[in-house]
């Protein structure tokens, strides 16, 4: 476990004011399809607007950041680009200029990530971003831009983030609210919001949810933890037992749960062949579209169960789906 991993909750895997016009029905949680479009340029793919930062908790501070991703087929030159927030009541808005000097690092190739973060460090290597998300040390393909300051001006309850090119043309924008987080997670501080797929419209709250990364609370510079392919955005919900025949000699088996896009709360209970409850693996667990839960063949008292057929019943309540799923497991008790 990384020494400053902040979100210790076990097994947590899971009003928009549009700054850019998209169809109102671009994403409908109850609709038959989602609209994925080919954007004109890079898109905003992840935002961390409420990081954990305290001088008294003896933990490394998380940095604010905005992640940009290029889903297109052509490179984009970020030289002279800016990020801005919403104007305040007085009309003031903050602009963050990054990639000011021409550099090969400003070229964002298709499929690559760029991260903009406030930092007063003398170098990217010494920044809070690389210090906290230490895997970035091994990702030279990720462009990291430091802008002067300790924090962004983004509000924790609601604000907007706009991305403009060197000519001041609006490339992408997000007008977020804290309600875009998974509503079943009690504590969202320290978690970013991520898109399910970069091609979803940034202006829709249904395109976003809380990061499901429990180690870091976000995934800057790598694929989003809640990422779904276009096909999987509305996949048929399923629970799989892997393997379906399980020996206690193998120590554990896994339940792989795949759901469509959305935020969920789930309970998973294992019953014996007489439908008596023997183990509750999850009870109101907040989750994203993809979740894995493990079972060691024991009951709630830690006792190894007898060989036989067992039934796993999953109850799911979510923003886009509520259902019950079942699967069976053959348990072979050895020892």
pLDDT in tens, 171-210: 999 999 999 999 999 899 999 999 999 999 999 999 999 9
**Do the domains spanning 43-231 and 235-332 agree at the CATH topology level?**
yes
Look at residue 279 in the predicted model and tell me its pLDDT: 97
The rounded distance, in Å, linking the Cα atoms of 166 and 51 is 29
Look at residue 251 in the predicted model and tell me its pLDDT: 84
Residue 27 scores a pLDDT above 90: no
Residue 283 burial (10 A CB sphere; 0-12, 13-18, 19+): exposed
Query: Residue 128 is inside which H or E element, if any?
Result: helix 128-132
Domain ranges of the chain: 43-231, 235-332
Percentages of the chain per state (helix, strand, coil), in multiples of 5: 5, 35, 55
Topology, domain 235-332: Immunoglobulin-like (2.60.40)
* pLDDT tens digits for range 255-304: 999 999 999 999 999 999 999 999 999 999 999 999 999 999 999 999 99
Query: Is 266:282 a contact under the CB 8 Å cutoff?
Result: yes
The domain over range 43-231 is classified in CATH as 2.60.40.1260: yes
Lowest mean pLDDT among 49-63, 141-155, 204-218, 293-307: 49-63
Look at residue 335 in the predicted model and tell me its pLDDT: 63
Query: Is 327:191 a contact under the CB 8 Å cutoff?
Result: no
Confidence of residue 40 (pLDDT cuts 50, 70, 90): confident
The rounded distance, in Å, linking the Cα atoms of 288 and 226 is 7
Within its chain, how far is the Cα of 44 from the centroid?
Answer: 13
**Structure tokens that stand for 176 in this block:** 């977020």
User: What's this model's pTM, rounded to 2 decimal places?
Assistant: 0.83
The rounded distance, in Å, linking the Cα atoms of 263 and 321 is 9
């Amino acid at each position: 476990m990384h020494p400053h991993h902040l979100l210790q909750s076990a097994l947590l895997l899971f009003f928009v004011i549009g700054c850019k016009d998209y169809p109102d029905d671009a994403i409908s949680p109850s609709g038959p399809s989602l609209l994925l479009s080919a954007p004109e340029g890079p898109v905003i793919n992840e935002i961390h607007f409420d990081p954990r930062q305290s001088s008294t908790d003896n933990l490394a501070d998380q940095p604010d950041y905005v992640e940009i991703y290029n889903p297109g087929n052509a490179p984009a030159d970020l030289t002279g680009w800016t990020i801005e927030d919403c104007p305040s009541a007085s009309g003031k808005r903050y602009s963050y200029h990054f990639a000011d000097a021409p550099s090969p690092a400003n070229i964002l190739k298709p499929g690559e990530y760029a991260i903009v973060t406030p930092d007063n460090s003398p170098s990217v290597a010494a920044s809070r971003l690389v210090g906290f998300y230490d895997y970035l040390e091994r990702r030279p393909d990720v462009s990291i831009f430091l802008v002067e300051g300790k924090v962004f001006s983004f509000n924790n309850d609601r604000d907007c983030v706009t991305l403009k090119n060197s000519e001041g043309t609006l490339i992408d924008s997000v007008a977020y609210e804290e309600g875009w987080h998974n509503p079943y997670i009690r504590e969202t501080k320290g978690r970013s919001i991520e898109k399910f797929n970069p091609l979803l419209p940034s202006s829709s709250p249904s395109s976003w949810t809380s990061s499901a990364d429990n180690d870091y609370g976000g995934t800057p510079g790598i694929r989003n933890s809640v990422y779904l392919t276009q096909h999987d955005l509305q996949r048929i919900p399923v629970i799989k037992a892997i393997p379906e025949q399980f020996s206690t000699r193998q120590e554990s088996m896994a339940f792989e749960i795949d759901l469509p896009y959305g935020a969920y709360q789930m309970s998973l209970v294992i019953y014996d062949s007489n439908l008596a409850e023997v183990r509750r693996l999850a009870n109101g667990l907040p989750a994203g579209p993809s979740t894995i839960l493990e079972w060691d063949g024991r009951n709630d008292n830690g006792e190894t169960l007898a060989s036989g057929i067992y039934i796993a019943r999953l109850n799911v309540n979510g923003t886009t789906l509520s259902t019950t799923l079942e699967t069976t497991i053959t348990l072979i008790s050895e020892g």
